[in-house]
Amino acid sequence: MKKEILYLKIAGIIEKQILNGTLRLGEKIPSIRTVQKVYNVSINTVRQAFLELESKSLIESVPKSGYFVSKASQRKFSLPSVIILDSLQKEKHPEDLFHKTFASSENTDITHFSLGLPEKTLLPIAKLNKSVAAVMRSLANGGVTYESVQGNLNFRRTVARWAFMLEGKITEDDVIATSGAMNGMFTCLMAVTKPGDKIAVESPAYFGILKMISAMGLEAVEIPSDPVTGLDLDALKKVLPTISACCFVVNFNNPMGTLMPDDNKKELVRMLTERDIPLIENDIFRNVYYGLERPKPCKAFDEAGIVMLVNSVSKTLAPGYRVGWIIPGKYKDKIIQQKLIQTISTPALYQETISHFLENGRYDHHLHTFRKTVHSNCLKLLQGIEDYFPDNTKVSQPAGGFMLWVELDKKIDTVQLFDIAIRQNISFAPGRMFTQYNQYNNCMRLNFAMNWNEKINADLKTLGQIVKDAY
């Protein structure tokens, strides 16, 4: 086994012992030399494993004493509530709240816990620029002509090779280029629905998909989600006879970061295949996993072609490039027809740039660093919430992604808290944005894909005090 993989395996074993309580808070973990002998590896390999655990705030070094399980690793929060939707009345989506939340997105004086994007300091901008320069020297016609409707051939081949390791038998003919994931979701919905159709989504759900469904004359049907395992399949089963299509994020959804178990994914695909209901799977966060292995998508269990897998590099690499793709299953012809109507083609330059970046192994290297950073930030955010927020605060426990869902006391209105926080240059996403119903009013979504520093920690402390003052 390669050294770089072996140290992650050792780190993963120790991490599991910490998280399941085998190694407890303050307990000394086996020494570097002991671990070296147990696994018959080099001292440097064990040191790398320990550095990996330190980066996640799971262990800490005490001079002349060794390594100990850190306080951060033993933190326990109550999980957010699962909302029962049957008795709730639908309300108009709060357009003014969207404007208010994102009107200041360009203001660098504000700490943006609200945004659903990584801070630019976490992105490999210099290396991307090198790829752009290399592509510009070789791109036919300088990229000024139309590409094929399906997308740039080099890009599709590269995505297919990269996807082959993840999903199985994917070729360039199974990939359609898009202008980001939202464009991909829209194109899929246009291909398989008509106005008035009902679309199943998780609850809470990303507000962008709720707004899109409404704007298309469709009706979103919110399905309750468990804060750990995601979508409630029993609740979905009850409404399936009325559903025309589903839009789900099964791997680290936005806003809760839930991860659906593989058995549930298989059952979801089976249920939908039985009724020939298409699933639009937004796979945009799957590469931001905290464990040892990238989780499988529903597409991996799709034999009938009912799953349309939508992905992009917007959450991990280059939001402004607007490069994404669809693996369309049996709906390929309908999706290509919709793309022809909407955009004709996707710009070649940034497709080729992403292809170049992937082909040179730069994306995997970047993802490794990116995952370590956001996981460490997640632990710091959880620590801050424990230190600064009221004791009855409930928090999601994401296994990937970079969103945290926070539930406060029922008497708290996070829209009102936002108005107070923004005056102190702190922004977050109020929970009411993530539903069509009058619910989640005491919740907020916090983004932690940022360069964590003293100012961010101080602003988190201020936000905690604002919450306490509202009690």
Q: Where in 179-277 does DSSP place strands (E)? A: 198-203, 219-226, 230-231, 245-248
What pLDDT sits at residue 89?
67
Other residues' Cβ atoms within 10 Å of the Cβ of residue 395: 22
- According to CATH, what is the number of the domain 6-69? 1.10.10.10
Taking phi over 0 as left and psi of -120 to 50 as alpha, with beta for the rest, 28 belongs to beta
Choices 3.50.50.60, 3.40.50.2300, 3.40.640.10, 3.40.50.20: CATH for 143-361: 3.40.640.10
What percent of the chain shows pLDDT beyond 70?
94
Residue with token string 């360009």: 106
- Structural contact between residues 96 and 61, judged by C-beta atoms closer than 8 angstroms: no
What pLDDT sits at residue 60?
78
Q: pLDDT at residue 345 above 70?
A: yes
Task: Give how far Cα 201 sits from Cα of 52, 83, 225, 399, 471, Å.
Answer: 36, 14, 10, 21, 33
pLDDT tens track for 423-441 = 999 999 999 999 999 999 9
CA–CA gap between residue 44 and residue 3 (Å, rounded) = 9
DSSP 9-31: HHHHHHHHHHHTTSS-TTPBPPP
Task: Give how far Cα 338 sits from Cα of 135, 176, 185, 192, 332, Å.
Answer: 29, 11, 12, 10, 10
Other residues' Cβ atoms within 10 Å of the Cβ of residue 396: 24
pLDDT tens track for 255-290 = 999 999 999 999 999 999 999 999 999 999 999 998
Taking phi over 0 as left and psi of -120 to 50 as alpha, with beta for the rest, 271 belongs to alpha
Other residues' Cβ atoms within 10 Å of the Cβ of residue 208: 15
Q: Is 126 exposed, middle or buried (0-12, 13-18, 19+ CB in 10 A)?
A: exposed
What pLDDT sits at residue 21?
74
pLDDT tens track for 399-425 = 899 999 999 999 999 999 999 999 999
Q: Is 21 exposed, middle or buried (0-12, 13-18, 19+ CB in 10 A)?
A: exposed
Task: Give how far Cα 448 sits from Cα of 175, 255, 322, 371, Å.
Answer: 31, 12, 22, 12
Q: Where in 274-419 does DSSP place strands (E)? A: 279-282, 307-312, 324-327, 394-395, 403-407
Contacting residues for 292 by C-beta, under 8 A, at least 6 apart: 8, 9, 12
| Structural domain spans, the chain | 6-69, 95-123+364-470, 143-361
CA–CA gap between residue 233 and residue 125 (Å, rounded) = 41
* pLDDT bucket at 26, cuts 50 / 70 / 90: confident
CATH class given for the domain over 95-123+364-470: alpha beta
- Range scoring the smallest mean pLDDT among 105-119, 191-205, 313-327: 105-119
Q: Find the radius of gyration of the CA atoms of the chain.
A: 23
Q: Which two tokens stand for residue 8?
A: 């992650």
pLDDT tens track for 127-151 = 999 999 999 998 888 888 888 999 9
Identify the H or E element spanning 179.
none
DSSP 36-105: HHHHT--HHHHHHHHHHHHHTTSEEEETTTEEEE-GGGG---BPPPPPP-TTPPB----HHHHHHHHTTT
Q: In Å, how far from its chain's centre is CA 322?
A: 17
CA–CA gap between residue 27 and residue 18 (Å, rounded) = 10
pLDDT tens track for 347-397 = 999 999 999 999 988 899 999 999 989 988 998 899 899 999 999 999 998
If we measure between CA atoms, which residue out of 325, 327, 328, 319 comes closest to residue 346?
Answer: 325
* pTM reported for the whole predicted model: 0.86
User: What is the three-class DSSP state of 129?
Assistant: helix
Q: What is the mean pLDDT of residues 52-57?
A: 80
CA–CA gap between residue 393 and residue 391 (Å, rounded) = 6
Q: Which two tokens stand for residue 333?
A: 């012809």
Task: Give how far Cα 411 sits from Cα of 127, 255, 426, Å.
Answer: 48, 21, 21
Identify the H or E element spanning 415.
helix 414-422
Contacting residues for 321 by C-beta, under 8 A, at least 6 apart: 313, 314, 350, 353, 354
Return the top range by mean pLDDT from 27-41, 238-252, 292-306, 380-394.
Answer: 238-252
